[in-house]
Amino acid sequence: MSFLSRALGFAGRASVVVIGTSVASAVMVGIDQRRGATPQIPDHPGPYSPEEREAAVRMYLTAITLPAAAFRVPFAPDCVRHENGLKTGFSGDHLKWDLHLHLQYSTIREVRDIVLTVDPDGREGVVHADFTLVTVVGLKARVSEDFVVPAEDCLIHSIEARISLG
């Protein structure tokens, strides 16, 4: 075995340890944050106003770039997320941990040009969001998402996302 192959093997093992340690650390922090966090739901029995339902969606958009906000997003336990037709979120807990661990969101630098519409075109219980994602390398993606957020509970029950580059 050559010195180069041994060095590359060692470097590979060391990077796995570093990544594993980083993920383990994020999980431990997440457990602490989850314990102390409560979803951002107004403190009254409902029905909830359009502004309160919009605030639930804004908390989700905040958590995209701020993992510490993930456990404050008011997801329904059975919430699912579809991205361009592909199911990417399987439950409220899964989506919270996805946002917290931040693996697929780590390249996103900011969310901007946010336009929210509550009950667009008479679609009762829907909050529609159009916004731009800007990555750390400057690439931009245009996102259009429909959130099902009923006035009865102000929880996000599903997310239907359409993402296009450019």
Query: Mean pLDDT over all residues of the chain?
Result: 85
* Pair 115, 138: CB distance under 8 Å: no
Does 30 reside within a domain? Answer: no
Number of domains in the chain: 1
Which of helix, strand or coil describes residue 121? helix
Does 3 reside within a domain? Answer: no
Does 8 reside within a domain? Answer: no
Does 84 reside within a domain? Answer: yes
What backbone torsions phi and psi does residue 75 show, to the nearest 5 degrees?
Answer: -85, 140
* Pair 95, 81: CB distance under 8 Å: yes
Residues 6+ apart with CB under 8 A from 146: 123, 126, 127, 128, 129, 159, 160
Q: How confident is the model at residue 18 (pLDDT cuts 50, 70, 90)?
A: very low
For residue 103, the model assigns a pLDDT of: 85
Which of helix, strand or coil describes residue 96? helix
Does 130 reside within a domain? Answer: yes
pLDDT in tens, 56-109: 999 999 999 999 899 999 999 999 999 999 999 999 999 999 999 988 888 999
For residue 166, the model assigns a pLDDT of: 72
Does 32 reside within a domain? Answer: no
Does 134 reside within a domain? Answer: yes
CATH, residue 59: 3.10.450.50
Does 12 reside within a domain? Answer: no
In whole angstroms, give the CA distance from residue 54 to residue 127. Answer: 7
Residue-number span of the structural domain to which 83 is assigned:
37-165
140-145, Cβ contacts within 8 angstroms, sequence gap of 24 or more: 140/165, 140/166, 141/165, 141/166, 142/166
